[in-house]
């Protein structure tokens, strides 16, 4: 049996469309009902509220309560709909604002972007399997890499983004853990955020960059 992403133990996002139906008169006391027969969202809306001429439908991104990213809608009743209603089914639910008609349009696992401290990266790099399973990207310029570098990092200079950016999903696997490093952690953060938009599932920004790695973990690494 194929599981919905919302049944997996990882952060999930759902896209829903919803509209408030203030004139809806329901005899059911249930706060959530799922319509089983197939129909479009707009046709359901018109059938339940025929007097309305409104086409005011809103699309929202719902985040399960693992985290609450800024800009993501957090309405508990909508969350219940998003993670219990089958994809493309139409449901109705009640909030403090009234009755709503909703449809789950899609879902996906939420991607992860977080800092990794130099000492934690160092521990991971001691594992022989780490370099096989992870993707390591250094976005500094070639002249910087010539001064100081860490083994296993592939150099993709940020200034040359136009040459490697369009092919990044062909060169790297978005499903693998990806670690991004620069001198102090700022350029790498820009690239890490961009990788998220390209569908990379788990992206780690090396906090403080190679400078922090050299000063806090391995003094044999030159600083500049």
Burial of 62 (0-12, 13-18, 19+ CB in 10 A): buried
Catalytic hit among 121, 139, 182, 212: 182
Buried b (16+ CB within 10 A) or exposed e, 8-29: eeebbbbebbbbbbeebeeeee
Q: Rounded to whole angstroms, how far apart are CA atoms 23 and 45?
A: 11
- Catalytic residue list contains 93: no
Q: With H, G, I as helix, E, B as strand and everything else as coil, classify residue 58.
A: strand
Q: Return the closest-CA partner of residue 144 out of 118, 191, 183, 180.
A: 183
Contacts within 8 Å (CB) and 24+ apart, 186-192: 187/139, 187/140, 187/158, 188/137, 188/139, 190/158, 191/137, 191/139, 191/156, 191/158, 192/113
Beta strand segments in the chain, E: 12-20, 32-34, 58-63, 90-95, 98-109, 112-116, 135-138, 154-155, 177-181, 202-206
Residues catalogued as catalytic: 182
């Amino acid at each position: 049996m194929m599981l919905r992403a919302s049944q997996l133990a990882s952060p999930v996002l759902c896209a829903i469309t919803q509209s408030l139906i203030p004139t809806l008169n329901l005899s059911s006391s249930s706060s959530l009902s799922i319509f089983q027969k197939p129909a479009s969202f707009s046709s359901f809306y018109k059938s339940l509220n025929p007097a309305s001429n409104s086409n005011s439908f809103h699309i929202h991104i719902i985040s399960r309560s693992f985290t609450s990213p800024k800009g993501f809608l957090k309405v508990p009743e909508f969350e219940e709909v998003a993670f219990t209603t089958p994809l493309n089914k139409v449901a109705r639910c009640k909030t403090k604002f009234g009755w709503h008609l909703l449809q789950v349009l899609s879902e996906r696992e939420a991607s992860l972007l977080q800092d990794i401290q130099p000492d934690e990266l160092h521990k991971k790099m001691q594992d022989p399997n780490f370099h096989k399973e992870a993707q390591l990207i250094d976005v500094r310029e070639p002249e910087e890499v010539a001064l100081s570098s860490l083994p296993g990092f592939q150099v993709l200079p940020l200034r040359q983004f136009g040459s490697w950016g369009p092919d990044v999903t062909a060169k790297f696997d978005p499903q693998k853990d990806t670690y991004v490093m620069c001198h102090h952690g700022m350029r790498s953060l820009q690239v890490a955020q961009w990788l998220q938009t390209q569908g990379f599932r788990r992206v780690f920004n090396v906090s403080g960059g190679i400078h922090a790695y050299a000063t806090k973990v391995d003094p044999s690494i030159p600083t500049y």
